[in-house]
Structure 1
């Protein structure tokens, strides 16, 4: 059995406050025997203050951009020191090796090692003004299972989750700073159309690929963005096992990864029952995924 936790919380430019919030949730998770804890996108340093044509840009502003952090820098080291033997996924702004390029990134780690990192591939509403895009997906072997990482808008693209499922991912962590709609926002954010899409994508991607799906998200507000929370754990049948709804908090669920896969995939197994021979242009990507899977398991 594996106990999974997912965080909904507010993170801004105040790094000390961010680290205090991280420590608070790690302490809560430890009390509940969490093995794998997922923090939101941009938990270290906060997300952008706005999106679209008025988004944050490297060229026009310096005051509102998230701090750029190296994987081997002191900020990541501080998180590792705080989490101990707990495996954690957390979002941050990564500084590239050239010292200039910035990526919206996530890292999977514990106190002893970094299992892997990911740079966001799909960018919404002018995010490319602030970040460069990643160019691939990784899957990482950990003591709690084989984990894939996604960030926010990635969940709108079924190809992203399918690539990871074909690569053997058992758990996909989807870290977000997902806001409510910018226009015609619902009075109750739980009824907002962007909240609906966020929740629908989470359940659909879990069921599409018959994997455990862990969605974290920011909550509260930052700049012009109002976040919708709804951190959750979803099982391979698309059932929400735990959620924070709109509130800040920690969603926790104990899951039997191997047992659930064995029971569910003994019947309808979506990955097995695919028909790549009729998918036309997707076939090339399918062959690439097969080759990648062979390399990953070598």
Structure 2
């Protein structure tokens, strides 16, 4: 992988799929104008996120799209030479998944179904059951969907599968139970940044973190999209506003530099790690 410009988007998306597609098109155009080869769009960019995390209304869920829905094909056509990751609600027949797909003009490059579901999502979605990295024109990538990045094992699984870039797609809200007067004081805002930096640093990989902005029902989203280097340093960020965080990174060189003295993956001791009984 040579040097690549990576863009992570912060933007608002709702239930109107044509509106969402127009916003995706605008963001792809803006990322292309910046020279980006990889664009990571938020979770639920096609159809919007849940409006209530405590008691999701079964009659007001995001529109569910089949994995081969023409809308995904339209995103792939818009991507053309770029690699684009985008989140949506996947129609699994009798169940729904909070899902992400990575596309280029050549079609689908990789997929992910959110594995770790917070309490409210359990009522709306079924959990995925795997983490797989995949090859793209900009290198080997792994995807995580918001709450997935809370768990170190998720990102570690993708790093061990050869991912040099982790694409973290989120619809991450401010704290629902303990609202702070200012975004900077919000507990979830601090955790969102902490997880992004920790997952990059502990695996010595590049991480592109996208997130929604604005509100959906009673939920307010954080924004705070960013690109993080293998040392946990934030290379670019949007703060709470909508926009693109764009950073140019020589992924292989930066990972090699980070792992030159301390190589976290090679120095693991899996023989002494074990799950404790609950």
- Quickly name the TM-score band, shorter chain normalised: over 0.9
DSSP-derived class of the 1:255 partner: strand
| 1:84 aligns with one of 75, 80, 84 | 80
**Does structure 2 conserve the Cα–Cα contact (< 8 Å) formed by 1:190 and 1:246?**
no
Q: Report the CA distance between 1:118 and its aligned residue.
A: 0.6
Alignment of 1:64-143 (within 5 A): 64-96=60-92, 99-143=93-137
Q: Report the CA distance between 1:266 and its aligned residue.
A: 1.2
**Does structure 2 conserve the Cα–Cα contact (< 8 Å) formed by 1:10 and 1:219?**
yes
Relative to structure 2, which stretch is displaced further, 182-191 or 141-150? 182-191
Alignment of 1:1-298 (within 5 A): 1-52=3-54, 54-56=55-57, 61-62=58-59, 64-96=60-92, 99-281=93-275
**Does structure 2 conserve the Cα–Cα contact (< 8 Å) formed by 1:215 and 1:233?**
yes
Q: Report the CA distance between 1:233 and its aligned residue.
A: 0.3
Q: Report the CA distance between 1:100 and its aligned residue.
A: 2.6
**Does structure 2 conserve the Cα–Cα contact (< 8 Å) formed by 1:152 and 1:177?**
yes
Relative to structure 2, which stretch is displaced further, 255-264 or 168-177? 255-264
**Does structure 1 conserve the Cα–Cα contact (< 8 Å) formed by 2:37 and 2:83?**
yes
Q: CA deviation digits over 1:170-227, x for unaligned, max 9?
A: 0010100000011331122132111000110000000010010111000010111000
**Does structure 1 conserve the Cα–Cα contact (< 8 Å) formed by 2:7 and 2:38?**
yes
Q: CA deviation digits over 1:148-174, x for unaligned, max 9?
A: 010000011000011111111100101
Question: CA–CA distance in 2 between the matches of 1:142 and 1:11?
Answer: 26
Q: Report the CA distance between 1:31 and its aligned residue.
A: 0.6
Question: Paired residues, what number?
Answer: 274
Long gaps (5+) in structure 2: none
- Greater than 6 Å deviation, 4+ residue runs: none
Q: CA deviation digits over 1:222-266, x for unaligned, max 9?
A: 111000000000000000000000001100000001111222211
Long gaps (5+) in structure 1: 283-298
